[in-house]
Amino acid sequence: MELLCEKYKEKVDSKKAVCRRPTEYCKFRSGCLLHFLAREKIAGEKREAEDMGGEGK
């Protein structure tokens, strides 16, 4: 599935969902699926790293 960056009108594959310009202001960010999916991916990777280190449940 392809997602659309509303600010730049760029198509991005949902499997590689990441904001290409995360430091720039974006009026669409609060409702942006790319931003949301990227944050979820980072959180999941962090949880996996904690689990591997023995700190997670």
pLDDT of 51 higher than 90? no
The domains of the chain are located at: 2-17+28-52
**How far apart are alpha carbons 16 and 13 in whole angstroms?**
5
pTM above 0.75, yes or no: no
Which band of pLDDT confidence, cut at 50, 70 and 90, is reported for residue 49?
Answer: confident
What is the per-residue pLDDT across 5-48, written as a single tens digit (0 to 9) for each?
999 999 998 888 888 888 999 999 999 999 998 888 889 888 88
Please tell me which residue, 31 or 50, carries the higher pLDDT value.
Answer: 31
